[in-house]
Amino acid sequence: MKAIPLYEAKEPLAPAIDNGYGYQGVLLLDAKTDKVQCHICGDWFSVMGSHLKNKHKTNARKYKIKYGLRIRTALCSEKFRVTTAKRQKKFAQENPGEMKRRSIEARSRCKKKTGYRRSMETINKHGVCPEQLLLKIRKLAQKLKRTPTCRELQANKISPPVLYFTFGNYRNAIQQAGLTPRMTGDRLKELSYQTNPDLCLKLIQDFRKRNKRWPLPSDFRRTQLLPSYPTLSKYFGSVRNVWKILGRKTINGRWGQVAIK
Ligand SMILES: [Zn+2]
């Protein structure tokens, strides 16, 4: 007997949870008998609905969520699915409005219950399940012979949003991959103006040197390299105090823009 994933899935696959049969997010089909495997007991069926209800006291929705299948995945053999699809198509042709209404209703129901979360099946399909990502990160590290940076990961199609949704952040991802993060906590602190008042001042001075003027309020809002007004106020009480510390002069009571050479 050779079982194949009924829907496209990318290696490596994670085993089903709770000592279940098969893999998480994968519906296995026995091509020879055209039956799908129940993740809970490992038996094979043409249609699983009644089996889930009678034997496991659960329903298709709960089952799909638990084993990471898409809510819209049909828990039945290919033959059964095709027959049903044909019947539905015929029904739709005979009742044009009704079928569309039902499909919209079903879709909104799916979204409501799962809270728009992607199932493991969808994640597998795109090759971004946690195990697959960690494997990619480790492979990249082997190639580079060091921990890859966030930018290098991005260049290899592991974007920051993917890391964020899967691991919380870059550091967690690197640690889970068993690698050492490229910067330790202290070094990060030193670099981040969020936690370093001296760096805030230095960034403003650097800006002045680079642009030959003091930053304007819009520069603080726009330039990613400058600390924000709230951050400055937190450390120095007010932005006014920052100017005083940096020795900015007033002209007629207003903060001046004395050109520097
Ligand atoms: Zn079963």
Sequence spans of domains, the chain: 1-113, 128-182, 192-255
pLDDT over threshold 70, residue 85: yes
Between CA 23 and CA 14 the distance in angstroms is 6
CA of 35 to the centre of ligand 1 (A): 13
* pLDDT tens sequence across 62-82: 899 888 888 878 898 888 888
Give the model's pLDDT for residue 37. Answer: 92
CA of 72 to the centre of ligand 1 (A): 19
- List the shell of residues around ion ligand 1, using CB closer than 5 Å: 38, 40-41
CA of 91 to the centre of ligand 1 (A): 31
* pLDDT tens sequence across 117-176: 667 777 766 666 777 888 888 889 888 888 888 888 888 888 887 887 778 788 888 888
Under the banding of pLDDT at 50, 70 and 90, the label for residue 41 is very high
What is the percent of the chain where pLDDT is above 90?
9
CA of 167 to the centre of ligand 1 (A): 32
Least confident interval from 45-59, 82-96, 109-123: 109-123
CA of 46 to the centre of ligand 1 (A): 12
CA of 84 to the centre of ligand 1 (A): 22
